[in-house]
Structure 1
Amino acid sequence: MKNRRDFLKTTAAASVGLAFQSFKTIEENSNKINSIINKPIVLSTWNFGIQANEEAWKILSNKGRALDAVEAGVKIPEGDPNERSVGFGGRPDRDGKVTLDSCIMDEFSNIGSVAALEHIKHPVSVARAVMEKTPHVMLVGDGALQFALSQGFQKENLLVEASEKEWKEWLKKSDYKPVVNIENHDTIGMIALDSHGNLSGACTTSGMAFKMHGRVGDSPIIGAGLFVDNEIGAATATGHGEEVIRIVGCHLVVELMRQGKTPQKACEEAVSRIVKLTKNRNKSLKDIQVGFIALNKKGEYGAYCIQNGFNYAVQDTSGNKLVDSAYFLK
């Protein structure tokens, strides 16, 4: 017959064994869940998103933070003088001034934004500085420039020769009729899910070519051009910013995902609302373009736009590819 001491030893050993098995089961289940989640992954708008994704991937593939990745990624087209709708080289407003808009948002709902910013090549980095170094969310115009210079950003002439030539040609008729796709305006929006399961996003643009001086679209407005909810997902927009602002588009997309819609269905619903409002205002859908891309916490993604012509780039562990978005207007 076993004595009390032997009984306690046996019981303790069994308890340790059960605890180890429970821990092992939890760990295995956790690994299974992680293997289902497609991470890291990064999405960005338009064909220049391919190069932007490559830069972001350098950070994401080394288990870096999504916030750092999206900032680094969008800085690629911002700094390219051949990209005529973002940053340095962007087309000017009707007064010949290049004004830039940008915002950034991290997994903690920290946000920063600049609008109508002149002379600074990388507005996304100024937006991040607003987020991290001021008590504010948005700085605009001369105030944004003053802040940027105080933070060590360099003042530069952003109007390249090719953009200036186009502007002078435009002045001959001054006919303001934006082309619907990337031909005379557009934005790079980027959203990413890192290996830690956290989301961040950034959005940056020089806005519509030959816009009124001071015009600001959706790109620097949190909830319109970009929104991130680390519990649910992220979305960013491109196209005619006035239409995106009208429905607070990216917040809508994320809230639709909260209700259980896939990223694809959420983008489709947001576009359908713009379509309905446009028809109610007796406006032609052929004159506008809006596109959304969305990403949820599982690494699932989707995109949708009003009419043919919008594409977006996706990079994950399987590679980097350009995808033509599905669209409403057939």
Structure 2
Amino acid sequence: MLLRRKFLQQSLLGSLGVLIGKEQLRASPVGGKLGKASGPVVISTWAPNAKANAAAWQVLAANGRALDALEKGIHVTEADPTDQSVGYGGLPDRDGKVTVDSCVMDEWGNCGAVMCLEHILHPVSVARLVMERTPHVQLVGEGALKFALEQGFSKTNLLTPEAEKAWRNWLKTSRYDPMITVEHLEERNKKNKKKPGQQHDHDTIGMLALDSNGNLSGACSTSGMAFKMNGRVGDSPIIGAGLFVDNEVGAATATGVGEEIVRICGSHTIVEMMRAGHSPEEACKKAVERIVKRNGLQKAKEIQAGFIAINKQGEVGAYSLIDGFNYAVHTESGPYTKNAKFLI
């Protein structure tokens, strides 16, 4: 009886050792030493967000957690009045109200989001508290604002004089079409020979990071489509559309016309493509191809949409529908920006 009990104990311990070993392998990047990442990486949509990457890198370089790094990085863009796409200084909806959306997702698959939130400077931090302090994933509008105030956030006027002026000028010729922003952007870009997503155009910050422990996280923040219908929400705060993280595989985030990204569950699609063996760039291209297939080539030419992704090995990639999408990366070798390949 004692021999049998000892045998069972040894068998159980052996099985646990195999399971623990599998979990360690699963949590460590392929090609790196067991339990140790090949090096931290942070990547974000749009080259001007290199300054947000730099703030995130301070946390990663000190062996900090990926999610902490992303929160710190996105704070930079949310508080920048010269960025009219995110947070303070963001262009308002057609009623003149600045509403912000944000979400986070960590290495454990936990996630939180806020949508159509007003008066709060750092929605990414509210989204994180939704994840950590409530049983829910998403809070919206007045409920999200009430929660933020209960958590100690203060009301801030996010509408800067410059953003208000842009809105009042828009009102003079507006047809109150919720998609007029996209048309307006394309006309202006053709006239000025500018590319979508440059510093003074309207878009989102999506950030992904791999920390020194080999763990992935992601975060998004935006003030949404300029002069949108009040209450409109795009892809940015929607888990699986604007952001998705699977710590066994990789992470992806999106930028552009949110309605199109939601329709293909863009970020989740990319992560699943990486699970199937595609590189981050190839996976992003597959998502872009789905937008073209759904819309047809001619209509797709008028849509701004791009993706960035990172896999468990720390490889990064991006792809966009049309020319003009660039992204920022920071690694142990330093920061750099890159123009994404495009489909049409």
Whether the TM-score (by the shorter chain) exceeds 0.5 is yes
Which residues in structure 2 correspond to 1:1-330 (within 5 Å)?
A: 33-34=32-33, 38-175=38-175, 176-178=180-182, 179=185, 181-182=196-197, 183-279=200-296, 284-329=299-344
- How does the TM-score come out when normalised to structure 1? 0.87
Paired letter, 1:153:
F
Paired residues of 1:38 and 1:316 also in contact (CA < 8 A): no
In structure 1, distance between residues paired with 2:41 and 2:136: 30
In structure 2, distance between residues paired with 1:46 and 1:262: 20
Paired residues of 2:55 and 2:76 also in contact (CA < 8 A): yes
In structure 2, distance between residues paired with 1:188 and 1:101: 11
Paired residues of 1:77 and 1:86 also in contact (CA < 8 A): yes
Paired letter, 2:340:
S
Cα drift, residue 70 of structure 1: 0.7
**Farther off after superposition, 116-125 or 179-188:** 179-188
Cα drift, residue 239 of structure 1: 0.4
In structure 2, distance between residues paired with 1:37 and 1:141: 39
Paired residues of 1:184 and 1:208 also in contact (CA < 8 A): no
Cα pair distance change 1:250/1:31, threshold 3 Å: closer
SS in structure 2 of the partner of residue 287 of structure 1: coil
In structure 1, distance between residues paired with 2:259 and 2:265: 10
**Farther off after superposition, 227-236 or 166-175:** 166-175
Cα pair distance change 1:259/1:152, threshold 3 Å: same
SS in structure 2 of the partner of residue 48 of structure 1: helix
In structure 2, distance between residues paired with 1:31 and 1:284: 40
RMSD: 1.7
Structure whose CA Rg is larger:
1
Deviations 1:106-163 (A, max 9, x none): 0001100000000001000000010001111000001000000000001011000000
Cα pair distance change 1:87/1:55, threshold 3 Å: same
Paired residues of 2:103 and 2:236 also in contact (CA < 8 A): yes
In structure 1, distance between residues paired with 2:37 and 2:146: 43
Paired positions, count = 298
Alignment gaps of 5+ in structure 2: 1-28, 187-195
Paired residues of 1:100 and 1:116 also in contact (CA < 8 A): yes
Paired letter, 1:224:
A
In structure 1, distance between residues paired with 2:181 and 2:126: 31
Paired residues of 2:112 and 2:128 also in contact (CA < 8 A): yes
In structure 1, distance between residues paired with 2:48 and 2:123: 17
Cα drift, residue 184 of structure 1: 4.0
Alignment gaps of 5+ in structure 1: 1-29
| Identity fraction in percent | 59
Paired residues of 2:235 and 2:242 also in contact (CA < 8 A): yes
In structure 1, distance between residues paired with 2:286 and 2:234: 21
Cα drift, residue 285 of structure 1: 2.0
Cα drift, residue 278 of structure 1: 1.0
